[in-house]
Amino acid sequence: AAWASAMARTRGGASRDAGSIYARTRATVFAAARRLGDRDDARCAAAVSALLCAFELVFCVAIIVKVPYTEIDWRAYMDEVGGFLQGERDYTKLKGDTGPLVYPAGFVYLYAILKKVIIGCADDAPCDDANDVRVAQYVFLVVYVAHLCVTLATYRNARGVVPPYALITLSISKRIHSIFVLRMFNDGVASLFAHLTIFAAQRRKWPLAFFLLSLGVSVKMNVLLMVPPALVLLVGGTKPSVAISSVLIFVITQIALSLPFWMSGFFREYVSRAFEFSRAFDYKWTVNWRFVSNETFGTKPFARALLVAHVVGLLLFAHKKWYVSAREEKEKARRIRKDSSSVRTKKKTREERFFFGFFADWFRRLPRDASPSTTVELCLADPAHVMSTLHEGVFIGVVFARSLHYQFYAWYFHSLPFLLWRCDFFEAAAARAFRSETAVKLASDTARVSLLLLIERSWNIFPATEESSRTLFAAHAVLLVGLFFSRRRVKSVRAAEKNDKNA
């Protein structure tokens, strides 16, 4: 009887212990899930970022070891910089097996260093044997992981937008791993400079930001897509002296990089090839316009229509979204200063509009080298607003690009999670179908991830089809419209309002 009683107590204790372990495990899992879904949990985001970088380091090594290399543009790159290393300075004579060199001087210098110094190839060697390619792939592994670290740093600076779990989507792309680690395209290097620009701009280091932006342009011209939104932030949110000096740094950097060709008497040849805006694209490689006929794709009216749409998109976003702080200040002025004089109210109204108060405000401040108002300055320097503005400028260019080739995915993939979670269109749509806050969050995040996967799927179909191009264009259009009509409010505006009240 005593033995039976002891066994019963043991079983009861074991049952209670099992129940306690289950309860603690369940509580831990739910707490972790809540933290992973909390946009404001910076410590959780930092932990996820560190784990993601460590995982990518190991995963990319496995890709290099296990996935066979296939030649696309690497040999052409080596041939093009080989001519430069042999002393040729006429850009029209620098060619590879895929055609003439069409990238600016920064590309030449970077790949020349890679060929001559890091790999150790002869000037005229193609650098395409297995050992040479393997060394280059490990170099680009470092570029990829550095790119990811910088990207995650910009996400962390813009806290309160993307939940920690969504950072994992930055590592889901098969195409991006191929572009960086396997194919070694210059698009990845250019994108690294673009994200370094965003990081510097978030820190309000505008001269450094425009120096990095110029370096990115020197590697590939697509980084110019970031210039219009960067100018809105720079001109609208800083002193004129800072704006002018930053633009001068951009220009001087381009001139300095072109000096070897300029001093050799081939400056015109350099500019015409490195910055050839009228370049024709091959319909065979287009990812985004396969649902358009080949005849239409190559026409000038089609190219002009896309250019007009691009410019209109930039102007609309500049007026409605990028200079958003002033719009917030006007609403605040209407609420708080109802008894203000009509003159003061009109002055505020003029300052708030991109057309044409943005320009009038800058020229008004120019003679005195004055800073913008506190609210405008704080808002345009808000890290999340800086990041969304620069990414939106690039995304508009992608949507209306004359053609997107597979390596161009690196231009904007790393911005997609941020733009998707920056857009409140998904919550608004989910709120129409669900009443529960949890259900709205789950539905909206599911829609975001689904849209990202649709874009990823379109980029992984080779060759592109009419269906994949339509899907890609539709996904781009949904995101672009959602961003335009999103009602985000910059945190710095609240801080400025608090300062005004305290004053």
Q: How confident is the model at residue 339 (pLDDT cuts 50, 70, 90)?
A: very low
Q: What confidence score (pLDDT) does residue 502 get?
A: 46
Q: What confidence score (pLDDT) does residue 342 get?
A: 44
Check residues 302 and 495 and name the one with the higher pLDDT.
302
Q: What confidence score (pLDDT) does residue 500 get?
A: 45
Enumerate residues 6+ apart whose C-beta is below 8 A from 57: 141, 145
Q: How confident is the model at residue 351 (pLDDT cuts 50, 70, 90)?
A: very low
Q: What confidence score (pLDDT) does residue 142 get?
A: 98
Reply yes or no on whether the pLDDT at 493 is more than 70.
no
Q: How confident is the model at residue 482 (pLDDT cuts 50, 70, 90)?
A: very high
Share of the chain above pLDDT 90, in %: 70
Question: pTM for the complete prediction?
Answer: 0.90
Share of the chain above pLDDT 70, in %: 87
Reply yes or no on whether the pLDDT at 300 is more than 80.
yes
Contact call for residues 259 and 444 (beta carbons, < 8 A): no
Of 185-199, 268-282, 445-459, 465-479, the least confident: 268-282
In the block, residue with structure tokens 């879904």: 37
Q: What confidence score (pLDDT) does residue 265 get?
A: 93
pLDDT tens digits for 80-136?
999 999 999 999 999 988 889 999 999 999 999 999 999 888 888 888 888 999 999
Q: What confidence score (pLDDT) does residue 347 get?
A: 44
Helices 240-262 & 206-219 angle (0-180, nearest 10): 30
Q: How confident is the model at residue 20 (pLDDT cuts 50, 70, 90)?
A: confident
Q: What is the CA radius of gyration of the chain?
A: 26
CA distances from 342 to 62, 251, 325, 336 (A): 68, 43, 21, 14
User: What is the number of alpha carbons within 13 Å of residue 441 lying toward its C-beta?
Assistant: 10
Contact call for residues 239 and 370 (beta carbons, < 8 A): yes
H-run or E-run covering 99: strand 99-100
Reply yes or no on whether the pLDDT at 497 is more than 60.
no
Q: What confidence score (pLDDT) does residue 335 get?
A: 53
Q: What confidence score (pLDDT) does residue 24 get?
A: 78
Name the residue ranges covered by the structural domains of the chain: 42-69+129-274+287-327+377-502, 333-371
47-56, 279-288, 358-367 — which one is most confidently predicted on average?
A: 47-56
Structure tokens at 179: 């572009």
Check residues 354 and 259 and name the one with the higher pLDDT.
259
H-run or E-run covering 100: strand 99-100
Structure tokens at 341: 């004089």
Average confidence (pLDDT) over 470-490: 90
Reply yes or no on whether the pLDDT at 207 is more than 90.
yes
Reply yes or no on whether the pLDDT at 349 is more than 80.
no
Of 127-136, 338-347, 351-360, 369-378, the least confident: 338-347
Q: How confident is the model at residue 345 (pLDDT cuts 50, 70, 90)?
A: very low
pLDDT tens digits for 388-447?
999 999 999 999 999 999 999 999 999 999 999 999 989 988 999 888 988 999 999 999
Cα angle vertex 388, ends 387, 389, to 5°? 90
H-run or E-run covering 95: strand 95-96
Looking at the DSSP bridge assignments, the partners of residue 96 are 99
Task: Give the 3-state secondary structure of residue 278.
Answer: coil
Contact call for residues 125 and 78 (beta carbons, < 8 A): yes
Check residues 376 and 87 and name the one with the higher pLDDT.
87
When the pLDDT of each residue in the chain is averaged and rounded to a whole number, the result is: 88
